[in-house]
Amino acid sequence: MFLETLEKMRGLFGIILHCYCLMPNHFHLVIATPSGNLSRAMAWLQTTYTIRFNRKYRRSGHLFQGRYKAHLVEADNYGMELVRYIHLNPVRPRKKSDPVPVERMKSLEAYEWSSHGHYLGHARQAKPEVSTEWLGFWHGEMGAARREYRKFMKSAFGRQVVTPWGNLKGGLVLGGEKLWEKAKKLIRGTVAKENVRWTSRASLEAARRRIGRLIADEEDKRVRIWMRVELGGEAMTAIARELGYKDGSGIHRVVQRLNTRAEEDEALKKRVLQLRKAAGSE
């Protein structure tokens, strides 16, 4: 049920899933968010799964303890280590300084609740859809990449595997100094934006009224959907229900296609910029 919910989240929010591992009381995800919507996606995943879990087991209340932990990862430098560390979760000893027992190698191969099988090419679970892009870190050709990945995983047994989290900068960034400096600037900008947002409620309401008028005057259904999501910040699931789409992934595709078209179509690009300005988004 968790994997089904994860796949739904992946399609709904345009997430790229590179790696995952489910454990009895926690989970690990390595994901990319091209739409910059990590908070929304994770909130949806944890809330939706909690509701489904509670309904199935006739319980109520919270399921997850506190907010999820999120780290920004520089894939070129730490992707391989991170994938191995996460996939080894089911077989790694409790004491992190101990070597990974050689006899647990077969247990790793048999474990079906991670993307390890996807990387080897024989996943028992067809869903969720896992990107194989990071296999390129091992080799440019898929077959060779899978063989090199298997060797890389096998080499971890019988020795201590050092956690990559020891290299975290500021408790946030797993990467080099350039990424760390960029992250600090983004954080400062985010804090500033949040302060502005909370001190301009009246302006926000006025902007929403402007957007409502713009949507009412727009004849193109696709543009109206784009405006509601991009300018109005409406939930794609809510729009999908209203317009008769199966789920929010259809709305997401409409928005993404229009954004892609706007990069190539000068007239549409100009129209998008005009709408943003009229809505007060720029």
Each residue's pLDDT tens digit, 76-95:
889 999 999 999 999 999 88
More confident call, 101 vs 256: 101
Q: What is the pLDDT of residues 261-277, one digit of tens each?
A: 888 888 888 888 888 87
pLDDT > 70? residue 281 = no
List the domains of the chain with CATH numbers: 2-167 (3.30.70.1290), 201-279 (no CATH)
Highest mean pLDDT: which range of 59-63, 96-100, 109-113, 172-176: 109-113
What percent of the chain shows pLDDT beyond 90? 40
What percent of the chain shows pLDDT beyond 70? 92
pLDDT > 50? residue 196 = no
C-alpha–C-alpha distance, residues 158 and 101, integer Å? 6
Residue 64's Cα: distance from chain center in Å? Answer: 18
